[in-house]
Amino acid sequence: MREINDKRVREVAEKARAIRRHIVTMLCAAGSGHTGGSLSASDIVACLYFWEMNLDPANPDWEDRDRFVLSKGHAAPVLYAALAERGFFPRELLMTLRKMGSPLQGHPDKRKLAGVEASTGSLGQGISWAVGMALAAKMDKKPYRVYAMVGDGELEEGMVWEASMAAAHYKLDNLVLFVDHNGLQIDGRISEVLSPEPIRDKFEAFGWRVMEIDGHYIPGIMEALNQARLLKGQPVAIIAATTKGKGCSFMEDRVEWHGVAPNREEMEKALAELV
């Protein structure tokens, strides 16, 4: 159990703001990319990288490190921002997002960037990677934990449920999955495109322990992670209610911000709110 106190909450909240500022800045520089889903995931990713996970940026291939797999790989800016803030590479590199020759591709590439655990982007594959990593830890009797994040629209992929069935079958209690439940995907609201509801019931039916939280309330995210450490014999799914474009009022809950980068005027307006 990790201690939750006001000081740590403030520190993580500041990192979440820094991550969001990096997201809008690097996407503006790139001129393309996925803004809304990167912003919705920022508080969860900040909790993982600056409170929960056991990592060593100076030794990114450390065998016993905790792993995070961003299955919704199109939200790569949130991962890149967290890695830069955590010290895996200089912050200045963020401004090369999606540029020719940059290791910061539109989707994460494990071969090119330290700290990336899996090359993701084809939806459904990331959670499958994470299940394999967690199973490997069990087989090798290693202490590391595996964390993953899927989008709620990603739950439409059949591979997600194949991986979920395997995770429960092998009792992977070293695996925690976050569902970034912002209610929107590229084509519209998930309830209208192809509803995955009831999400909780589905994961429970597949043999997971399930929690439902506010994905922007940092103490609640921390408490859920603490509880996940105590649960044995089952993988844990944390369904996090989030807002697409969180932190930038003109982007919030707007499907058109799924895969659009802000221009300079929009970036400046966003940065003025992210203080």
* Beta-carbon count within 10 A of 214 CB: 14
Residue 49 resides in a domain: yes
- Domain total in the chain: 1
Q: Which is nearest to 117 in space by CA: 163, 148, 157?
A: 148
**Where is 272: in which H helix or E strand?**
helix 264-273
CA distances to 111, 135, 136, 200, 227 from 171, rounded to whole Å, are 30, 9, 12, 18, 17
What is the domain-level CATH number for residue 45? 3.40.50.970
Q: Are 23 and 35 in contact (CB under 8 A)?
A: yes
Where in the sequence is the domain holding 78, given as residue range(s)?
6-273
Residue 236 resides in a domain: yes
Residue 1 resides in a domain: no
For tokens 């797999």, what's the residue? 69
**Amino acid identity for residue 229 in this structure:** R
Residue 45 resides in a domain: yes
Residue 80 resides in a domain: yes
Give the separation between CA 207 and CA 234, rounded to whole angstroms.
Answer: 7
Q: List the pLDDT tens digit at each of the 275 positions of the chain.
A: 788 999 999 999 999 999 999 999 999 999 999 999 999 999 999 999 999 999 999 999 999 999 999 999 999 999 999 999 999 999 999 999 999 999 999 999 999 999 999 999 999 999 999 999 999 999 999 999 999 999 999 999 999 999 999 999 999 999 999 999 999 999 999 999 999 999 999 999 999 999 999 999 999 999 999 999 999 999 999 999 999 999 999 999 999 999 999 999 999 999 999 98
